[in-house]
Structure 1
Amino acid sequence: MNHGFERPAGGDAQALVLIAEDEPEIVDILKAYLAREGIRAVWAADGRAALDMHLALKPDLMLLDVRMPCVDGWQVLSEVRARGQTPVIMVTAHDQDIDKLMALRIGADDYVVKPFNPAEVAARVRAVLRRTRRVDFESREVLRVGSLEIDLEAFRVAVVRDDASRHVLNLTLTEFRLLAHLARAPRRVFSRAELIAACLPEGEVLERTVDSHISKLRRKLEDVGVEGVPVSLRGVGYRLEETA
């Protein structure tokens, strides 16, 4: 079966979404609604094909089902996240909070439960793409807070030491947005509601979802020697503070 390995014509300005889903009817509906938004889509019918196509096509975003043949969605998400920062929106019948939190811990950027409104899915895709593909036309902006160097245009975070050594962090898009937002005012405490509004505006998000993303971000910073950042203030929210 040809899953659409040839990247459709139309130029780089048009976004490409990889739909990893084993139900053709759902794929047809999603493709139609994405096309209305001017977004191209290709289809992978199983997890192995999704991983192969992700490497071959470098899509701008992935819509990913959990229950798929060959390799399930959790494994696909984990591998895609290990490769880089491709935004991933989970689309699944799993509607329990524990499933949503698992997806966010692994690195999903959003979570849509079946049965869904296809117009809402298309709107969420468009919102994520708008942020990830937006260019800062004023200037290339780099935020520096202590040892952290946050490149807002390249979506890259590095820890720079006094000896000039650099450690680039492999963050998800949501983790990057949270860190960058905190870095704009490193001594200010941001409430969870403020962080949701600024960094996760696509749909209904639980406040503990922010905690999950922050916890994952903190572990990645600790892995490169940055301890206790961001700082948690019980009952209030988070702040970045200076890093050593």
Structure 2
Amino acid sequence: MNDKVLIAEDDLRQAEVLRMYLRAEGYEVFVVHDGRAAIDTVRRLRPQLLVLDVMMPKVDGLDVARVLRQETSMPMLMLTARTSEDDLLLGLDLGADDYMTKPYSPRELTARIRTLLRRVQRAAPQEDGVLRAGRITVDPVRHEVRTGGRLVDCTPGEFTVLATMAAEPGRVFTRQQLLERTRGWDTMPTARTIDMYIMNLRKKLEADPRRPKHLTTVHGIGYKMTADPADDTWATPAPAPATDGG
């Protein structure tokens, strides 16, 4: 069955161009032109992905993302004419998985959609519940992290950050999103806390922590995990001491 993609875009011409490109890629495409219709259509059709314009009538795209993220983990790619860093961070914090600023290339947008859908397929839960990203495995039940088969000692905060990112390789997480996941593991959590967790994880997992290839920084936004199953550059260090009291 072809993946269903919903386009929520009030510019009729742009919507039709996207419909043409996505249909040529084999997707089943649906189009709506306001935020209220986007929410209703997602609830009715359960598409595999939503392309969501920020500035739409009735309900704007940010509110659509806020509502839908409480109901579904479906990937959302946000389109915006707003180019300030604060606007982009807000969209990501509300649950968007990716964004493109206008004007954009329909071919690039189609490629981003393919990437998001592949990521969702790769992130499907394993039968044993273990998260796998390249040579790293995260076992939420046993609370264990291994790289190349070797057990790696992680504090509770580090484990939570790593498990969050390993569940969705390739997704960009803002510091605020990671901070929300780790509340309770640090007495005074801040964005700097997340930076510390990432720094410690790089020391434990990267072959060269100064030049990370897997726990990478997306400047101005946050962090993402990149994991190629064929890549052999994860480190296999001896267990390191805890650093956050956990």
Q: What range is the shorter-chain TM-score in?
A: 0.5 to 0.7
Structure 1 spans left out of the alignment, 5+ residues? 1-12, 144-149, 153-158, 161-179
From 158, 167, 170, the counterpart of 1:200: 170
The within-5 A match list for 1:86-235 is: 86-134=74-122, 140-143=127-130, 187=153, 199-200=169-170, 210-219=174-183, 222=184, 227-228=185-186, 232=194, 234=196
Name the CA distance, whole Å, in 1 between partners of 2:12 and 2:44.
22
RMSD value over aligned CA atoms? 4.0
Name the CA distance, whole Å, in 1 between partners of 2:24 and 2:108.
13
Name the CA distance, whole Å, in 1 between partners of 2:114 and 2:92.
19
Letter matched to residue 170 of structure 2: L
Aligned position for 1:17: 5
Offset of 1:31 from its aligned partner?
1.0
Contact 2:49-2:74 within 8 A present in 1 as well: yes
Name the CA distance, whole Å, in 1 between partners of 2:112 and 2:52.
14
Moved more, 15-24 or 36-45: 36-45
Name the CA distance, whole Å, in 2 between partners of 1:34 and 1:243.
50
- Note closer, same or farther for the CA distance 1:216–1:200 as it changes in structure 2 (3 Å cut): farther
Contact 2:123-2:169 within 8 A present in 1 as well: no
Contact 1:101-1:212 within 8 A present in 2 as well: no
Max Rg structure: 2
Name the CA distance, whole Å, in 2 between partners of 1:199 and 1:243.
27
Q: Given the two structures, how large is their TM-score scaled by the length of structure 1?
A: 0.62
Contact 1:20-1:45 within 8 A present in 2 as well: yes
Contact 2:17-2:106 within 8 A present in 1 as well: yes
Offset of 1:135 from its aligned partner?
7.8
Count of equivalent residues:
184
**In percent, how many aligned pairs have the same letter?**
32
